[in-house]
Chain A
Amino acid sequence: MGRKLLLEHAQVEGIRSYEVYRKQGGYRSVEKALKTMSPDGVLEEVKKSGLRGRGGAGFPTGMKWSFLAKPEGVPRYLLCNADESEPGTFKDRYLMEKIPHLLIEGMIVSSFALGANTSYIYIRGEYSWIVFILEKAIQEAYANGWLGKNILGSGYDLDLYVSPGAGAYICGEETALIESLEGKRGNPRVKPPFPAVKGLWQSPTVVNNVETIAAVVPIVNEGGDEYAKIGIGKSTGTKLISAGGNINRPGVYEIELGVPVEEFIYSDEYCGGMKNGKKLKACVPGGSSVPILPHFLINRTANGEQRLMTYESLSDGGFATGSMLGSGGFIVYDEDQCIVRNTWNFARFYRHESCGQCSPCREGTGWMEKVLWRMENGQGKMSDIDMLVDIAKKIEGNTICPLGDAAAWPVAAAIRHFREEFEWHVNEPKACMERNYGLVREPVAV
């Protein structure tokens, strides 16, 4: 059994309430930080811990915090990114729903470290019931003196708010999140300036994922060095993985970084193997934006090493033969799943979620979706396959925010590894419709 730092008490009866959470040792990190540490002391521990952002990009959190500009007389903000909308990712939801006080506690310690006196949790609108869970937890924290003025007599003030979004994946992009929080349309901003210099209300701002902020609690409690002992190399600590797809035990798992992928899929502690004894066909290890891996590159890297659940190992081989840990949305596909259909489904998502500012993303995502739909419905052409690769290439890197890349990568990767299946859709449209839908009918006209 791996160590659990975040979800250790998640199954304790009543842990959602303040009393039970406190009894399990909750808010110790706030006591420790505010009474015995300086803000920079907390930052040092986070740096030592090697914690990397859990929102997708894996940027070292300590380094991000140290970039925060600190001009005199200007407020600073910490924003928690709880917009979690990436297909396949549902770990933040689990954490906030089960053990909301852990996030509140993390917000207090992190805000203290950054010198923020007002902080926000920006949560996706669809998590409407979690808004109430968090607000209740915040009320309890105020009532017990963990929030508000002069917390624990330390002279440190903090106000914490929950702000729900209105149903846009793009508002998970940090600058779109800031725009949305300011009450505007959630269009990503052009960078520079980065939020660390000009973020919310043009003030220095840090945006961190729910899980990143929650991880600061055990880091402060146990010390950064202790945290860094878990994991391998630059992938330290534990990570929440939301596993889904054709596995026996879908759900959210806290793993020690470094668990072999094979073990994660097949061990009963985690996914419990393939459902109905089917064969493993493909895996998207880090949410819909990351490249899909074919079965022979999942458990082993291209040069035959064991593939591990770490930032480095999952991206070993670059995009040619690797993928990314991303946000930890681990999707497993068995032999019956259609890669073309899956790729179309992702493309449909990005088309719907593009904010529409940049022409390559706005037009390219729509185009890819239409071509893939046509192919999936038996009207594809052989030339479509290379055209899709070309469209993806023309989007990638040519946009304001990474949503363009996130839309392009899955298409490019699916064709890279499953070209025959795309060709099969073109050559045998009837056969593939029969397999995918059990339909014996003529391909529909598009």
Chain B
Amino acid sequence: MPKVKIDGFEIEVPDGTTILQAARMIGGDIVPPAMCYYSSLKGSGSKCRTCMVKVTKGSDKDPRPMPKLVTSCQTMVMDGMEVANTSSEEVLKARAGVVEFLLLNHPLDCPICDQAGECHLQDLAYEHGASGTRYEFERRTFEKIDIGPYIKLHMTRCILCYRCVYVANQLTENRVHGILNRGDHAEISTFIEKAIDNEFSGNMIDVCPVGALTDRTFRFKSRVWFLNPMDAHRDCPTCSGNAVVWMYGNEIFRVTGRKDQYGEVHEFICNTCRFEKKAVSDWHIEGPRNIDRHSVIAQGHYGQKALTVR
């Protein structure tokens, strides 16, 4: 089993582990941010470039440093590898550059965005970005589109992480969801606006790191930080039925998958659970969900030690 050192912390990991996974095993501040990689979606990663790190020593066998920064979500650990993430000035500079790029065409209207409070781009910008922008041009905008009865696509907010495309390709049966055009004029499409009526299409909302894909049954009903997330389950013939219900008082406002501290869902839920089971009597409520994320969203739940928002 290869050993790797990340920002001075050493860990032994199974063969085939990526630097990002190894860093997550160590945990804490040395974990690189990941906006496009999603462990349960095959092929995801390598696009956003926020997870770039410096390999200062390739391996025991070949100790040469790697010439360029590498994406930690794709690069496999080698025995004896040494990696600098937060300890490398070069990495932090490049990452700030990536944040600037990601925000270039992203509307900076968080106060009126439904994703605010649980947006990974918001968190990323807060932790790694500069306070101002040097961009002085009009941002690219698109009309909002309804993808079927449940999902709203607001392409203007999209950072082209491709996660939803992988959901469409891997979870649902037919490949209706793709990318149109190229470069900064690329957009998510459903070939074209064909409603995605697959039972698992709602998971696109959960994998979206920003407010590009949102739940039409929940949009603008409440700010997420006013809601109490509760672990809940139900007997579902289609999916595991393990979900999080977001409550205000005795009312369920929305249902999502169970996200880990990196925002990843490991058990995808079906559309019936997500969009149609909004009565408390539909669910067995287990108790408050502990959301361990450096974000506003972590605030709303009780039983927490201290506020983790910076």
Take A359-B101, A360-B101 as given contacts and tell me if A366 and B182 are in contact as well, using a CB distance cutoff of 8 Å: no
Pair B182/A367 contact, Cβ less than 8 Å: no
Pair A364/B69 contact, Cβ less than 8 Å: no
Q: Which of A61-69, A280-288, A346-354 lies at the binding interface?
A: A346-354
Pair A366/B48 contact, Cβ less than 8 Å: no
Which residues of the other chain, A, contact B52 by a CB distance below 8 angstroms? 398
Scan A402-445; emit 1 where CB is below 8 A from any B CB, else 0.
Answer: 00000000000000000000000000000000000000000000
- A-B contacts, 22 of them at CB < 8 A, read A190-B45, A353-B182, A355-B186, A356-B160, A356-B179, A356-B181, A357-B47, A357-B162, A358-B49, A359-B101, A359-B160, A362-B186, A363-B105, A364-B101, A366-B184, A367-B104, A387-B134, A394-B97, A397-B69, A398-B98, A399-B49, A446-B137
B272 within 8 A of A: no
Take A355-B182, A358-B49 as given contacts and tell me if A398 and B104 are in contact as well, using a CB distance cutoff of 8 Å: no
Pair B46/A400 contact, Cβ less than 8 Å: yes
Pair B184/A363 contact, Cβ less than 8 Å: yes
Which residues of the other chain, A, contact B162 by a CB distance below 8 angstroms? 357
CB-based nearest B residue for A360: B101
| B residues 84-108 touching A (CB-CB < 8 Å) | 94, 97-98, 100-102, 104-105
Take A358-B47, A360-B49 as given contacts and tell me if A365 and B184 are in contact as well, using a CB distance cutoff of 8 Å: yes
Instruction: Taking A351-B183, A366-B184 as given, write out 20 further A-B residue pairs in contact, using a Cβ cutoff of 8 Å, ordered by the A residue number.
Output: A352-B183, A354-B183, A355-B182, A355-B183, A357-B160, A359-B50, A359-B98, A359-B159, A360-B97, A360-B98, A362-B184, A362-B186, A363-B104, A365-B184, A367-B135, A367-B137, A397-B69, A398-B49, A398-B52, A398-B68
B2 within 8 A of A: no
Which residues of the other chain, B, contact A363 by a CB distance below 8 angstroms? 101-102, 104-105, 184
CB-based nearest B residue for A365: B183
Query: Distance (Å) between the CB of B45 and the closest chain A CB?
Result: 8
Query: Distance (Å) between the CB of A420 and the closest chain B CB?
Result: 23
The 4 closest A-B pairs by CB, nearest first: A394-B97, A354-B183, A366-B184, A356-B186
Query: Distance (Å) between the CB of B126 and the closest chain A CB?
Result: 18
Pair B94/A394 contact, Cβ less than 8 Å: yes
Complex Cα spacing A394 to B98, Å = 8
B74 within 8 A of A: yes
Pair B137/A362 contact, Cβ less than 8 Å: no
Query: Distance (Å) between the CB of A325 and the closest chain B CB?
Result: 22
For B, the interface residue count at a CB cutoff of 8 angstroms equals 32
Q: Which of B68, B159, B183 contacts A397 (CB 8 A)?
A: B68
The chain A residues found within 8 Å of chain B, CB to CB, are 168, 170, 185, 190, 351-367, 370, 387, 394, 397-400, 446
Query: Distance (Å) between the CB of B299 and the closest chain A CB?
Result: 29
Complex Cα spacing A387 to B186, Å = 25
B178 within 8 A of A: yes
Which residues of the other chain, B, contact A365 by a CB distance below 8 angstroms? 183-184
Query: Distance (Å) between the CB of A351 and the closest chain B CB?
Result: 6
Which residues of the other chain, A, contact B46 by a CB distance below 8 angstroms? 190, 357-358, 400
Take A367-B135, A370-B137 as given contacts and tell me if A359 and B48 are in contact as well, using a CB distance cutoff of 8 Å: yes
Pair A351/B49 contact, Cβ less than 8 Å: no
Which residues of the other chain, A, contact B186 by a CB distance below 8 angstroms? 355-356, 362
Complex Cα spacing A351 to B186, Å = 11
State the total of A-B contacts with C-beta under 8 angstroms.
90
Pair A353/B134 contact, Cβ less than 8 Å: no
| B residues 13-60 touching A (CB-CB < 8 Å) | 45-50, 52
Which residues of the other chain, B, contact A168 by a CB distance below 8 angstroms? 182
Complex Cα spacing A352 to B68, Å = 26
CB-based nearest A residue for B138: A370
Pair B94/A353 contact, Cβ less than 8 Å: no
Pair A359/B183 contact, Cβ less than 8 Å: no
Query: Distance (Å) between the CB of B235 and the closest chain A CB?
Result: 40
Complex Cα spacing A13 to B214, Å = 65
Take A185-B178, A394-B94, A398-B49 as given contacts and tell me if A356 and B183 are in contact as well, using a CB distance cutoff of 8 Å: yes
Which residues of the other chain, B, contact A351 by a CB distance below 8 angstroms? 183-184
Query: Distance (Å) between the CB of A158 and the closest chain B CB?
Result: 32
Complex Cα spacing A357 to B134, Å = 22
Complex Cα spacing A34 to B122, Å = 63
| B residues 150-183 touching A (CB-CB < 8 Å) | 159-160, 162, 178-179, 181-183
Query: Distance (Å) between the CB of A445 and the closest chain B CB?
Result: 13
| Most interface-central of B47, B74, B178, B185 (chain A CB within 10 A) | B47
Which residues of the other chain, A, contact B134 by a CB distance below 8 angstroms? 387
Take A190-B46, A387-B134, A400-B47 as given contacts and tell me if A359 and B182 are in contact as well, using a CB distance cutoff of 8 Å: no
| Most interface-central of B50, B74, B97, B162 (chain A CB within 10 A) | B97
Complex Cα spacing A353 to B185, Å = 10
Pair B47/A359 contact, Cβ less than 8 Å: yes
Complex Cα spacing A190 to B51, Å = 15
Pair B69/A398 contact, Cβ less than 8 Å: yes
CB-based nearest B residue for A350: B183
Which residues of the other chain, A, contact B104 by a CB distance below 8 angstroms? 363, 366-367
Complex Cα spacing A387 to B133, Å = 12
CB-based nearest A residue for B180: A185
Q: Which of B94, B100, B179 contacts A185 (CB 8 A)?
A: B179
| Most interface-central of A353, A359, A362, A365 (chain B CB within 10 A) | A359
Complex Cα spacing A88 to B116, Å = 47
Complex Cα spacing A356 to B155, Å = 14
Complex Cα spacing A360 to B74, Å = 17
Take A363-B104, A394-B94, A398-B98 as given contacts and tell me if A354 and B184 are in contact as well, using a CB distance cutoff of 8 Å: yes
Pair A359/B102 contact, Cβ less than 8 Å: yes
CB-based nearest A residue for B134: A387
Which residues of the other chain, B, contact A366 by a CB distance below 8 angstroms? 104-105, 183-184
Q: Which of A190, A355, A394 contacts B101 (CB 8 A)?
A: A394
Complex Cα spacing A446 to B45, Å = 36
Pair A362/B94 contact, Cβ less than 8 Å: no
Complex Cα spacing A352 to B184, Å = 8
Complex Cα spacing A370 to B52, Å = 27
Which residues of the other chain, A, contact B135 by a CB distance below 8 angstroms? 367
Pair A353/B49 contact, Cβ less than 8 Å: no
Query: Distance (Å) between the CB of A178 and the closest chain B CB?
Result: 15
CB-based nearest A residue for B69: A398
CB-based nearest B residue for A359: B101
Complex Cα spacing A22 to B137, Å = 59
